[in-house]
Structure 1
Amino acid sequence: MQLTTLLALATAAVVPAFGAVIPRAVGKATVLNHCSFPVTLWSVGSSVSAPVALAATNGTYSEEFVKDPVTGGKALKITTTSDGLYTGAPELILAYSLDGANVWYDLSSVFGDAFKGHKVTVAGKGTGSCGAIEWAEGTQPAGSQTKVCGSAGDVVLDLCAA
């Protein structure tokens, strides 16, 4: 009986040290709207979120990085119209994929240039060297826009950046 109690106590002491899942910090995907006009955002993975309106000049949206169980990644789709996702309006897309200690992200556009004439930037705010993306005129340049950052840091999309 004493040996059983001793083993139970020893196991209880060891399991938290080695077997417990310890949560780690995960960063966020954030969108800042500094434009003089409102925008609408949808978070899209295996499902589509309700539309989120970001107010002109100071609207903000943020979501913790998640690994979508079906698609593997998420896309933050942004239009300058409230129903743009469903009407074929130009979309700006910040896509990310959480991969353990890293988050891969890129910026793209479809159906036109929603932010033509407005500077758009994406910056990784993590430890180490995170890749930045800049569209000085709000239009997609040639070449790959895919970057990587530590998953504990944030990735920030700035619309109509200074």
Structure 2
Amino acid sequence: MRSAIVALAALASSVSAVGNAIVKNNCPSTFYLWSVGGSIGPEVAVAPGKNYTEVLRRDPTSGGVALKITRTAGGLFTGAPTQIFSYTLDGAQVWYDLSTVFGEPFAGSHLTVTANGGGTIDWPQGTHPGGSQVKVAPSGSNVVFTACA
């Protein structure tokens, strides 16, 4: 019994809390977000001044998660310009990146991704500035994408 309690205590101390993926809308208009891994989550309208938050997770099918953001409702299914804030939870670390597809929905707006203990992704003009954008932080960190920073 005593060894079982010691083993459980050791296991509990080795499991660390994970952070959150947070999307902040500092823009003057609503945008639309889908959490995509092995399947597509429901559309979420993120109003000005509001946030979307999900606990960092590892998708069992794809391994990673992409938070896909468009400026138009239903835009994920119509080929609208899409901002992609993606992350992969890998044990003690979370890897994160910023990219676009079908255009740049936030061109002209400052975009950032920050995490405690991790690197910052900074797109001053809302467009890819070139070079690798992949960063890494401890898995307990909140990883925050801010539109119109």
* TM-score class normalised by the smaller sequence: over 0.9
**Matched residues in 2 for 1:124 and 1:155: separation?**
5
Q: Indicate whether 1:85 and 2:73 are aligned.
A: no
How many Å apart are 1:18 and its aligned residue? 1.6
Aligned match of 1:63 = 54
**Matched residues in 1 for 2:135 and 2:5: separation?**
36
Amino acid at match of 2:6: A
SS at match of 2:112: strand
Aligned match of 2:95 = 104
Aligned match of 2:129 = 141
**Matched residues in 1 for 2:27 and 2:131: separation?**
26
Aligned Cα root-mean-square deviation (Å): 1.1
TM-score normalised to structure 1 length: 0.87
Q: Of 14, 25, 33, which residue of structure 2 is paired with 1:33? A: 25
**Matched residues in 2 for 1:139 and 1:116: separation?**
6
Aligned match of 2:143 = 155
- Gap runs ≥5 in structure 2: none
Aligned match of 2:43 = 51
SS at match of 2:76: helix
SS at match of 1:139: coil
How many residues are paired up? 146
Amino acid at match of 1:145: Q
How many Å apart are 1:134 and its aligned residue? 0.6
Q: Indicate whether 1:72 and 2:63 are aligned.
A: yes
Q: Indicate whether 1:14 and 2:7 are aligned.
A: no
Percent identity of the aligned residues? 49
**Which runs of 4 or more aligned residues in structure 1 lie more than 4 Å from their structure 2 counterparts after TM superposition?**
none
How many Å apart are 1:137 and its aligned residue? 0.5
Greater CA radius of gyration, 1 or 2? Answer: 1
Aligned match of 2:34 = 42
Q: Indicate whether 1:95 and 2:86 are aligned.
A: yes
Amino acid at match of 1:136: P
Deviations 1:93-150 (A, max 9, x none): 010000000000000011001000100000012xx4x100010000012111000000
- Gap runs ≥5 in structure 1: 1-11
Amino acid at match of 2:133: Q
